[in-house]
């Protein structure tokens, strides 16, 4: 049988450290075939983001429809959706083409702090795309921006996960890599899956300059879901994949610093 097709709708990082190139790496690692629709072409390398050229909603739509002409999409991940028009187009495509419930990586800023998404697009994502999502995967800064709360500990992560789920998502995974008051030997993530809270613990890897890990994680989860795994098992397998990728330096060498 052919490998399941997983579609990523996200930005292009020409240095290969994040965005659709990193997504494709993760999707292939789980025996799925990657397809991509680019939402924005960023101008960046391993040290700095110089800017971005956002693509129109029509351009995004035509890319997706071209993929759907010959491929049945089994998994979907969204990343950088920089404008309200791009978010609304993804919502329309999900509904009209009956795409799988997406794994939403709510990309807002680069690791170096460059803004990648405007505030209106974030608002539309929360109100329109979130209710369609199977999972949203914010890191601590993203969860803080979404909820307006400061997150300094595990209890704050739990509260934020529940608050975001109540906005309409079926499940929320808050990634704890940016948590300041953490046990330096372990990384803690919080999953709220339809009201059931689960604490996920993994190895803490002390390198705060890596980028693209969120892309790898969300894409790996989407690939595992496309392979028929449960959400919990998909997340655990994706976490192991990302930890292994960091430890063995299989990530693109350009994926450091930004």
pLDDT band at 209 (very low <50, low <70, confident <90, very high): low
**pLDDT above 50: residue 256:** no
Q: Would you state the pLDDT for residue 250?
A: 45
Query: In angstroms, rounded to a whole number, what is the distance separating the alpha carbons of residues 104 and 106?
Result: 6
Q: Would you state the pLDDT for residue 28?
A: 97
Task: Provide the CA 124 distance to its chain's centre, in angstroms.
Answer: 17
Q: Would you state the pLDDT for residue 249?
A: 53
The answer to whether residues 224 and 30 touch, using CB atoms and an 8 Å cutoff, is yes
Q: What percent of the chain has a predicted confidence (pLDDT) above 70?
A: 89
Q: Would you state the pLDDT for residue 45?
A: 84
Q: Would you state the pLDDT for residue 257?
A: 37
Task: Provide the CA 58 distance to its chain's centre, in angstroms.
Answer: 22
Query: What angle do the packed helices 57-70 and 84-96 form, to 10 degrees?
Result: 30
**pLDDT above 90: residue 185:** no
**Mean pLDDT, rounded, for 7-20:** 94
Where do the DSSP E strands lie in 49-185?
49-54, 73-78, 103-104, 135-136, 171-174
The answer to whether residues 235 and 200 touch, using CB atoms and an 8 Å cutoff, is yes
pLDDT digits (tens, 9 = 90+) for 100-136: 999 999 998 876 677 888 889 999 999 999 999 999 9
**pLDDT above 50: residue 164:** yes
Query: In angstroms, rounded to a whole number, what is the distance separating the alpha carbons of residues 141 and 161?
Result: 13
CATH number at residue 192: 3.40.1190.20
Query: In angstroms, rounded to a whole number, what is the distance separating the alpha carbons of residues 121 and 110?
Result: 16
**pLDDT above 50: residue 30:** yes
pLDDT digits (tens, 9 = 90+) for 66-91: 999 999 999 999 999 999 999 999 99
Q: Would you state the pLDDT for residue 237?
A: 97
Query: In angstroms, rounded to a whole number, what is the distance separating the alpha carbons of residues 216 and 241?
Result: 8
Q: Higher pLDDT residue, 254 or 46?
A: 46
DSSP class of 207:
-
Average pLDDT, the chain: 90
Number of domains in the chain: 1
**pLDDT above 70: residue 149:** yes
Query: In angstroms, rounded to a whole number, what is the distance separating the alpha carbons of residues 224 and 253?
Result: 25
**pLDDT above 50: residue 56:** yes
The answer to whether residues 40 and 60 touch, using CB atoms and an 8 Å cutoff, is no
pLDDT digits (tens, 9 = 90+) for 221-239: 999 999 999 999 999 999 9
Q: Would you state the pLDDT for residue 176?
A: 85
In terms of residue numbers, what domain contains 210? 5-255
226-235 b/e (C-beta count within 10 Å ≥ 16 → b): bbebebeebb
38-64 b/e (C-beta count within 10 Å ≥ 16 → b): bbbebebebeebeebebbebeebbebb
**pLDDT above 80: residue 206:** no
Q: Would you state the pLDDT for residue 210?
A: 67
């Amino acid at each position: 049988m052919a490998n399941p097709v997983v579609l990523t709708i996200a930005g292009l990082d020409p240095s290969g450290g994040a965005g659709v190139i990193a997504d494709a790496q993760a999707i292939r690692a789980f025996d799925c075939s990657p397809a991509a629709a680019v939402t924005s072409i960023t101008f960046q390398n391993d040290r700095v983001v110089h800017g971005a050229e956002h693509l129109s909603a029509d351009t995004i739509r035509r890319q997706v429809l071209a993929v759907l002409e010959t491929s049945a999409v089994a998994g979907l991940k969204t990343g950088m959706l920089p404008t309200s028009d791009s978010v609304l187009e993804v919502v329309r495509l999900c509904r009209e083409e009956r795409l799988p419930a997406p794994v939403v990586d709510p990309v807002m800023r680069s690791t170096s702090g460059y803004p990648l998404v405007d505030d209106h697009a974030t608002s539309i994502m929360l109100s329109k795309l979130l209710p369609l999502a199977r999972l949203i995967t914010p890191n601590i800064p993203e969860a803080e921006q979404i909820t307006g709360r400061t997150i300094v500990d595990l209890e704050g992560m739990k509260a934020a996960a529940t608050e975001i789920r109540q906005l309409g998502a079926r499940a929320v995974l808050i990634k704890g890599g940016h948590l300041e008051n953490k046990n330096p030997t372990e990384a803690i993530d919080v999953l709220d899956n339809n009201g059931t809270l689960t604490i996920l613990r993994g190895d803490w890897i002390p390198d705060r300059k890596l980028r693209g890990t969120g892309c790898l994680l969300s894409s790996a989860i989407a690939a595992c879901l496309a392979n028929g795994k449960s959400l919990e098992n998909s997340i655990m397998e994706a976490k192991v994949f990302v930890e292994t990728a960091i430890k063995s330096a299989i990530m693109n060498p350009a994926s450091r610093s930004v």
